[in-house]
Chain A
Amino acid sequence: MKHTIAILVKDHPGVLARVSSLFNRRRFNIDSIAAGHSEKKGITRITIVTEGDEHILEQITKQLNKLVDVIRVRDLPRDISVERELALIKVSTKSVDQRTEIMQLVDTFRGHIVDIEKQALTIEITGTQEKINAKLKLLESFGILEIARTGKISLSRGAQRILN
């Protein structure tokens, strides 16, 4: 089963290495990892999507909590969280017709065209991982040149926050 874990860490050099090395040496899986500033200065928020049963999730949480630079660890279950991923997809365009077709498609699934050239255009999509995967499938037939995905980020619904 997939789990999304939010990890608040001190913004120290090497902190991402500490977290990812822990996953590696204890054979925990990382599906995606995203890191960026949090609402508090000096604290970074890392979001990791991992796979495993409850026992593995418990071990991951406990082992992460042992890292001195880790301040908080939270499992964010889907039903009580909002989650998003951003993807940039570069698609090749062979004709004007094709380009129009793609643009209509992107418009329908509420993506944005962020770069256009004669031979290619770049699409921005945000959404759940499933939504992005579905859109990617639609675009496959046009010929995808490159994909960049941020990995999932997630916040719990309501006024609740991890750091008080």
Chain B
Amino acid sequence: MKLSGTEIIVECLKREKVEVVFGIPGGAIIPLYDTIYQKASFTHILTKHEQGAAHAADGYARATGKVGVCFATSGPGATNLVTGLANAYLDSIPIVAFTGQVISPFIGTDAFQEVDITGITLPITKHNYLVMNIKDLASTIKEAFYLAKNGRPGPVLIDLPKDVQLARTDFSYPEKDKCTGYRPILKGNLNQIKKAALATQKAKRPIIYAGGGIINSNATQELQDFVQKTNIPITTTLMGLGSFPEEHSLALGMLGMHGTYYANTAISEADLVIALGTRFDDRVIGSGKDFCPDAKFIHVDIDPAEISKNVRVDIPIVGDLKYVLTKLIQFTESKQEKDWVDRVAHLKQSYPLQYHHDDQLRPQYIIEKLYESTKENSIIVTDVGQHQMWVAQYYQFNYPRSFITSGGLGTMGFGLPAAIGAQIGCPEKRVFCIAGDGGFQMNIQELATAIYNKIPIVVLIMNNGYLGMVRQWQELFFGKRYSSTNLEGSPNFAQVAQVYGGKGIRVSRIEDFNTALVQALSERTFFLIDCLIPSEENVFPMVAPGESINKMLGVNES
């Protein structure tokens, strides 16, 4: 039977078990939307900006582990996806984006709403396609989904000229993709794993440094088993939060620029660093000079290009963490380096995270209170900035996929749409979006999407009237010259939520916040709490740019 291009797309998405698509129609993608109107098996969520669609697909993917899907039209619709795709690319999140394109004879003529979106997204997608022949469509979609989720995940874009959407051909969905150029190595080399086991056995001061790869590979149980067997202290990156229960005595929280002092000090004293699914990002290793001066490095990653990219490693292992950790557990004998575990426990006890306790509504208090009130079955989504670091520091993540944040790209405006996507993907969970007053206004239009679709997320705005993280840097490193960081002129966000038809409340006192949070938790509806917090609160401790990570500002001994 002959199907049109758009019918093929809808059919392929059904075969890929796509449940929801986020997007906005436009001239070059009307045919696809017309087919959706008639026969789609998935829900379509109309966002108010294509960036919101991309972030929602991203949040959906992070919360569920499935591939997120978004649609946009040609030209500005497609370029509005760009930030969302870059965001997913840097955090290795599987997304398939479909964009409309002008009819194929017009390509290259600067036609109305034409942009070279495959050219534009070349460096920020895992791969992309311009489908010029209807016969290639089904196999392209198959390949795109394969690429998005296999190996190191990432976004894939498919550009669809309008005439290809309308053309007709015989449909059959390929059983296998034809992706000859991409076959990730999943089974790590056993000799290397044995070497790693031996190094682990010998180490006197080992530490695990775990990243988002643990979560992508669903290896949290294996990681716990490995720690259980070896009693090695563990620190996680921002992306790795949730990969290991923070409540565990060997958990040291996040390391790096705003990590805990004990994590940064412990890793600096280590003689063996076991890096798992992480990429030695500059926000983790600081200047890079003197990073773990006494340590040997084991690095396990599914992406060979990450091995020895930023730091030369001694024992590289390319493979899927679930497989590698399983083998590593087999090859490693039980051990406990008592002196080292004591030393780390001592550090943890002596230099805890601290903030000022008084009658003001402090952001750290808000996060601690949220943590006490939520526990299991919650997903915390953040935007980017100070509040994001406070969440990373003060919320104790114990479950994978319970923390969703824009790590690599640091995209302000990510939080609200990502929370919408996460809630749609996990309707049984409570989803919280923590945002600053700066970033929230970068995709504030998605309030309409959330409230109209009755998405019961709770939004907490840490409102300090500043682009707070930039202001903090200006305070510390630019002589308090607060150039363009004052956000005067922002609205009352509670009222904004109300205008969109949602619940909103503004609080500035601890008791009022407590009451509002109890109310938000007792209801199952969209609820925004605009929290007025002290305007010049800083995120501490902190590694100054260019410093080694164990030289931190704002460290207090308990």
Q: How far is A22 from B127 in the complex, measured between Cα atoms in Å? A: 12
A10, A21, A70: the one contacting B122 at CB < 8 Å is A21
What is the size, in residues, of chain B's interface with A at 8 Å between Cβ atoms?
Answer: 19
- Contact check, A66 vs B122: say whether CB atoms are below 8 A apart: no
CB distance from B408 to the nearest CB of A (A): 15
**Residue A68 lies at the interface, judged by CB distance under 8 Å to chain B:** yes
- Contact check, B181 vs A69: say whether CB atoms are below 8 A apart: yes
What is the size, in residues, of chain A's interface with B at 8 Å between Cβ atoms?
Answer: 20
**Residue A138 lies at the interface, judged by CB distance under 8 Å to chain B:** no
- Contact check, A17 vs B119: say whether CB atoms are below 8 A apart: yes
CB distance from A132 to the nearest CB of B (A): 33
- Contact check, A63 vs B181: say whether CB atoms are below 8 A apart: no
A10, A13, A25: the one contacting B181 at CB < 8 Å is A10
Q: Which chain B residues lie closer than 8 Å to A14 at the CB level?
A: 118-119, 130
Residue of B at shortest CB range from A10? B181
- Selected interface stretch from A54-62, A89-97, A103-111, A117-125: A54-62
**Residue A67 lies at the interface, judged by CB distance under 8 Å to chain B:** yes
- Selected interface stretch from B304-312, B357-365, B440-448: B304-312
Q: How far is A14 from B307 in the complex, measured between Cα atoms in Å? A: 28
- Contact check, B122 vs A65: say whether CB atoms are below 8 A apart: no
CB distance from A69 to the nearest CB of B (A): 6
Q: A residues 14-73 with Cβ under 8 Å of B?
A: 14, 17-18, 21-22, 25, 55, 58-59, 62-63, 65-71
Q: How far is A69 from B179 in the complex, measured between Cα atoms in Å? A: 9
**Residue B37 lies at the interface, judged by CB distance under 8 Å to chain A:** no
Q: Which chain B residues lie closer than 8 Å to A62 at the CB level?
A: 304-305, 307
- Contact check, B305 vs A63: say whether CB atoms are below 8 A apart: yes
Q: How far is A164 from B323 in the complex, measured between Cα atoms in Å? A: 29
- Contact check, B179 vs A66: say whether CB atoms are below 8 A apart: no
- Contact check, A68 vs B304: say whether CB atoms are below 8 A apart: no
Q: Which chain A residues lie closer than 8 Å to B309 at the CB level?
A: 59
Q: How far is A65 from B127 in the complex, measured between Cα atoms in Å? A: 13
CB distance from B97 to the nearest CB of A (A): 16
**Residue B123 lies at the interface, judged by CB distance under 8 Å to chain A:** yes
Q: How far is A63 from B126 in the complex, measured between Cα atoms in Å? A: 12
Q: Which chain A residues lie closer than 8 Å to B93 at the CB level?
A: none
Q: How far is A25 from B122 in the complex, measured between Cα atoms in Å? A: 11
Q: How far is A65 from B181 in the complex, measured between Cα atoms in Å? A: 8
Given A68-B127, A68-B179: A18 and B304 interface contact (C-beta under 8 Å): no
CB distance from A35 to the nearest CB of B (A): 17
- Contact check, A71 vs B180: say whether CB atoms are below 8 A apart: yes
Q: B residues 94-142 with Cβ under 8 Å of A?
A: 118-119, 122-123, 126-127, 130
Q: How far is A67 from B179 in the complex, measured between Cα atoms in Å? A: 11
- Contact check, B126 vs A68: say whether CB atoms are below 8 A apart: yes
Q: Which chain B residues lie closer than 8 Å to A17 at the CB level?
A: 119, 122
- Contact check, B123 vs A68: say whether CB atoms are below 8 A apart: no
- Contact check, A18 vs B126: say whether CB atoms are below 8 A apart: no
B119, B123, B127: the one contacting A25 at CB < 8 Å is B123
- Contact check, A66 vs B123: say whether CB atoms are below 8 A apart: no
Q: How far is A17 from B147 in the complex, measured between Cα atoms in Å? A: 20
B172-205 vs A, CB cutoff 8 Å, 1 = contact: the mask equals 0000000111100000000000000000000000
Most chain B CB within 10 A, of A14, A68, A71, is at A68
**Residue B246 lies at the interface, judged by CB distance under 8 Å to chain A:** no
Q: Which chain A residues lie closer than 8 Å to B305 at the CB level?
A: 59, 62-63, 65-66
**Residue B50 lies at the interface, judged by CB distance under 8 Å to chain A:** no
A10, A22, A55, A68: the one contacting B147 at CB < 8 Å is A68
**Residue B271 lies at the interface, judged by CB distance under 8 Å to chain A:** no
CB distance from A9 to the nearest CB of B (A): 8
- Contact check, A70 vs B123: say whether CB atoms are below 8 A apart: no
Q: How far is A14 from B118 in the complex, measured between Cα atoms in Å? A: 9
CB distance from B168 to the nearest CB of A (A): 24
B425-448 vs A, CB cutoff 8 Å, 1 = contact: the mask equals 000000000000000000000000
Q: How far is A67 from B119 in the complex, measured between Cα atoms in Å? A: 14
Q: How far is A58 from B308 in the complex, measured between Cα atoms in Å? A: 9
Residue of A at shortest CB range from B143? A68
Q: How far is A65 from B304 in the complex, measured between Cα atoms in Å? A: 9
- Contact check, A67 vs B122: say whether CB atoms are below 8 A apart: no
Q: How far is A21 from B119 in the complex, measured between Cα atoms in Å? A: 10
Q: Which chain A residues lie closer than 8 Å to B147 at the CB level?
A: 68
**Residue B303 lies at the interface, judged by CB distance under 8 Å to chain A:** yes
Q: Which chain A residues lie closer than 8 Å to B181 at the CB level?
A: 10, 67-71
CB distance from A21 to the nearest CB of B (A): 5
- Contact check, A68 vs B119: say whether CB atoms are below 8 A apart: no
Q: How far is A92 from B312 in the complex, measured between Cα atoms in Å? A: 54
Q: Which chain A residues lie closer than 8 Å to B303 at the CB level?
A: 66
Residue of A at shortest CB range from B305? A62
CB distance from A65 to the nearest CB of B (A): 7
CB distance from A152 to the nearest CB of B (A): 24
B396-421 vs A, CB cutoff 8 Å, 1 = contact: the mask equals 00000000000000000000000000
Q: Which chain B residues lie closer than 8 Å to A21 at the CB level?
A: 122-123
Q: Which chain A residues lie closer than 8 Å to B118 at the CB level?
A: 14
Most chain A CB within 10 A, of B147, B305, B307, is at B305
Known contacts A10-B180, A18-B122, A21-B122; 12 further A-B pairs (Cβ under 8 A): A10-B181, A14-B118, A17-B119, A17-B122, A55-B312, A58-B308, A63-B305, A67-B127, A68-B127, A68-B181, A69-B127, A71-B181
List, sorted by A's number, 7 A–B pairs whose CB atoms are closer than 8 Å.
A17-B119, A21-B123, A58-B308, A65-B305, A66-B303, A67-B181, A70-B181
Question: Nearest 3 CB-CB pairs, A to B?
Answer: A62-B305, A68-B127, A68-B182
Residues of A within 8 A of B (CB): 10, 13-14, 17-18, 21-22, 25, 55, 58-59, 62-63, 65-71
